[in-house]
Structure 1
Amino acid sequence: MDEMDIITEQHPLDFNATNDDAYDFIPTYAPRTIEPIVVRGAGHVTVFALNNKFDEEFPQGLAHKVSREEYQETIRRVNGILKKNVPNHFKWLIFGCICCCCTIGLSLCPVVYLNKRSKAAVKRALSSENARIYHRLGLHWKLIQQKCSNNNAVQEYVLMIEFCSALSLSYPD
């Protein structure tokens, strides 16, 4: 029994070290990283980097991941929140700018509060959509602040769709 030959299965990417670099390690797999999809604002009104609507065009990166109707329903839900709130922010911003000298800048506080409340409403909507649909499909939506592509000094809020990596059960931790 002591002299039993053991035949091991060898992975095609494994190799036998023939030189002095016996301690070099080449992984047998490479984790797949997919670039997240960014949905930018498409509206005409932007208040404190929050645009009044997002583009409803279906990105090609989601072609086999999610249906067009589910994507558009999520965008419509987010756009509904922004359509209801952002025009009011703009009116309060104009009022705050007019009264800024008299109130020592305190007239801009309502706009900041309303903007924070709108961002929280959008994040809640995305969280419920993630739990309802997208986490099962391996996607995660979130609202993040990102620098504009044409101007590095200006920032805007965008919707980012990240691809969640599936757990690989064939490789150890």
Structure 2
Amino acid sequence: MPNIEFDVIQAQDVDIREISQDEDEDHPMNILHEALTIRGVGNVTLFGLTNRFEEEFPPGLHSKVAPEEFKATISRINDILQKMQPTNLKSFFCGCICCCCTLGCSLWPVICLSKRTKNAIAKALDYDNNHSYHKLGLHWVLKKVKCDSSNMLEYVLSIEYIPKKNLMKPD
């Protein structure tokens, strides 16, 4: 019978990268989901930003988020749009009237107000992401995408899935 030493650590010629790549392909948790998009349904769109988003719960979020939590986030965004869009619209009309005299400079305040609206929405989404959605593996973001029917760009809410980290995988 050969002499076997149990306490001796022996090196093996195995490449860890090969094992981890094989596991990543077959592992069901590593399947990435496509991001959900929520388009604007308002009747006024100014610089690609509509005045309202749909509050209907998308079927892709079932068993991931409570419908009440989803509705609270959408209503918070709609409240921001409801407060800011009338001011943006009035400034836009005034800027258009004075555009010929000011050589287009009268539209700068409207662009700045629109940027302020986008920043306010981004801050609200960031707050919700940090307090609840990141824990659920979701990330909300305001994205600029191309419209289906034309070359125009519009802002949509995108709900992206954060991939879960494999705790069994070596660093």
Which structure 2 residue ranges, 5 or more long, are not aligned?
7-17
Letter matched to residue 24 of structure 2: Y
- Bigger fraction of residues in helix: 2
Q: Counterpart of 1:102? A: 101
In structure 1, runs of 5+ residues without a counterpart are 5-22
TM-score between the two structures when normalised by the length of structure 1: 0.83
Higher relative contact order (CA 8 A, sep 6+): 2
Q: Which amino acid aligns with 1:81?
A: I
Q: Name the structure 2 match of 1:20.
A: none
Structure-2 separation of matches of 1:112 and 1:51: 14
- 1:79 equivalent in alignment to 2:78: yes
Output the TM-score relative to the length of structure 2. 0.84
Shift of 1:171: 2.3
Whole-Å separation in 2 of the counterparts to 1:116 and 1:29:
41
Report deviation, 1:92. 1.0
CA distances 1:114-143 after superposition (whole Å, capped 9, x unpaired): 000000000000000111110111100010
Aligned ranges 1:14-53 → 2 under 5 Å? 27-30=22-25, 31-53=30-52
Instruction: Tell me, yes or no, if the aligned pair for 1:45 and 1:87 is still in contact at 8 Å.
Output: no
Point out 4+ residue stretches in structure 1 off by more than 4 angstroms: none
2:15 corresponds in structure 1 to: none
For residues 92 and 28 of structure 1, the distance between their equivalents in structure 2, rounded to whole angstroms, comes to 57
Q: Structure 1: which amino acid aligns with 2:113?
A: L
Correspondence list, 1:1-173, <5 A: 1=3, 27-30=22-25, 31-151=30-150, 153-173=151-171
